[in-house]
Structure 1
Amino acid sequence: MKTDTKMKIEGSWTEIKGKLKQKYASLTEDDLMYEEGQEEELYGRLQRKLGKTIDDIKEEINGL
């Protein structure tokens, strides 16, 4: 079963990526690169760049 976050990412990543870039100017295209099945790598990059927990990142994505 897919998580809500994974379904949201797969469904509208371009829109989510734009909102994250607006909120966090330090994020680059490389930080936000997403390929299907590579969610954990994405979360890890965002965690390192933003200094947040993976749960915080998932919650933020779900809130967008």
Structure 2
Amino acid sequence: MNSDQFEGKWKQIKGQAKQKWGELTDDELDQIDGKREELIGKIQERYGIEKEEASKQVSQFEETCHC
């Protein structure tokens, strides 16, 4: 899924993102609004992981999300 598709389907997949990264708040997910780089940054910040790992998690999420 490319960035435009990810952003376009964000409202549909936001709940799945909340399940995967439960420490992200609804407000944070609303602010992210489907922007991949912002999601990566929030995951990095909230979970204290490297950008590469956060990016890997988002890529895996994109491959497995039901959208």
Which TM class, normalised by the smaller chain length? 0.5 to 0.7
**Aligned twin of 1:55:** 56
**Which runs of structure 1 show a deviation greater than 6 angstroms over 4 or more consecutive aligned residues?**
none
Matched-pair identity in %: 30
The answer (yes or no) to whether the contact 2:7–2:36 under 8 Å persists in 1 is no
How many residues are aligned here? Answer: 60
- C-alpha distance in 2 between matches for 1:31 and 1:55: 20
TM-score calculated relative to the size of structure 2 = 0.58
The answer (yes or no) to whether the contact 2:24–2:46 under 8 Å persists in 1 is yes
- C-alpha distance in 1 between matches for 2:63 and 2:2: 6
Matches within 5 A, 1:1-64: 4-32=1-29, 33-35=31-33, 38-50=35-47, 51=49, 52-64=53-65
Which stretches in structure 1 are left out of the alignment for 5+ residues?
none
